[in-house]
Amino acid sequence: MLEHIYPLRLIEKNPFYAFLLGIAYTIIGIGIAVLLFPEDPAIVAVALISLIFYPTINQLMKQEEAIESEKEEFSLFVFLKDHRSVFAVYILFFFGSLLVFSFFSLLLPALATNHIFENQINVLYGNTVGGAAFSTGLFMDLLKNNLIVLLVIFTTAFLIGDGGIFLIMWNASVWGTIFGTLAKTAALNANQNPFVYFLIVLGIVTPHMLLEAFAYIGSATTGGVISKAITREKLLSRRFNYIIINTVISLVFALVVLLIAVSVETYVLDNIDTYQRIIRESFM
């Protein structure tokens, strides 16, 4: 029902509305999950957000498929230009959702945060920033983990059409919860303002987070567009081969962006003293 409140053309003309939708849908998703599934709302919240957003992104993907099916030649620049609306909608919705998870993590008491976002918190204190954040193998560890996520998102989007939405929203929830929890815990231990710490963390991580999100969204968009287009073509036909080539080129581009993102993230974790200090303070 919610997708009928606003016309799709409104979001296409002004993708900023997707940012507002990300905020609104995430609040609704978390609220419903807490009310209906109080014992384990974390995964349910992400699933609900994905389901609410699905009709909008599905309509956009159908339009992108129509654009792709008319092409006779492939150009990466033209591909990005033609599909810029879906990239913008995805990224802005992603950041709107991420900010909501961050602010809930900042505002809620620690016990409430640990319960509502238990799965996301487990990522923080499990195998990410904690123990091996400054190891010599950091780059390869980050690359391996992020590469698996990207390939899973692409495969899911390819097989299910728009199935990559859930994994992208899961990343938004994990990043948002991690950054909010890091800022709140570090600020409390250092007797500082949590919102100031959060703005510092956000300013530091935004460059590599934006690149990483773009790589994930690029792989999901590529997988979704190709999935819808390939069902219309005859196996091994000229159009079929053309679509496969486009897929490979687009996926390679997403991999290059991910490689840059991991390089930036490694540099940040190894060289930004302020970020290192906040991480240490959060684990005191």
Domain ranges of the chain: 2-282
CA–CA gap between residue 183 and residue 31 (Å, rounded): 23
Mean pLDDT (the chain) is 80
Task: Give me the pLDDT at residue 63, please.
Answer: 66
Residue 116 pLDDT more than 60?
yes
Q: Is 161 left (phi over 0), alpha (psi -120 to 50) or beta?
A: left
* pLDDT, tens digit, 9 for 90 and up, residues 147-191: 988 988 888 888 876 667 888 899 899 999 999 998 998 998 888
Long-range contacts from 61-64, C-beta under 8 angstroms, 24+ separation? 61/86, 61/161, 61/162, 61/221, 61/224, 61/225, 61/228, 62/228, 64/221, 64/224, 64/225
Query: Which residue's structure tokens are 């998870």?
Result: 101
The answer, yes or no, to whether residue 260 has pLDDT greater than 70, is yes
**49-63, 169-183, 234-248 — which one is most confidently predicted on average?**
169-183
Helix (H) or strand (E) holding 197: helix 194-230
Pick the closest to residue 188 from 65, 270, 250, 105 (CA basis). Answer: 105
Across 39-53, 59-73, 154-168, the highest mean pLDDT is recorded for 39-53
pLDDT of residue 93: 92
* Residue 80: per-residue pLDDT: 65
- At residue 133, the pLDDT reads 43
CB count, 10 Å around CB of 236?
Answer: 8
130 has a pLDDT exceeding 60: no
Give the model's pLDDT for residue 70. 59
12-16, 191-195, 266-270, range with the lowest pLDDT: 12-16
Higher confidence at residue 232 or residue 146?
146
Contact call for residues 95 and 22 (beta carbons, < 8 A): yes
Q: Which ranges constitute the DSSP H helices of 37-163?
A: 41-69, 76-82, 84-107, 110-116, 118-126, 138-160
CB atoms within 10 A of CB 205: 21
**What pLDDT was estimated at residue 35?**
92
**What pLDDT does residue 211 have?**
92
- pLDDT for 211-239, tens place per residue? 998 899 888 877 877 776 677 666 667 76
Please indicate whether residue 128 or residue 76 has the higher confidence score (pLDDT). 76
- pLDDT score of 48 more than 90: yes
More confident site: 10 or 192: 192
Task: Band the pLDDT of 82: cuts 50, 70, 90.
Answer: low
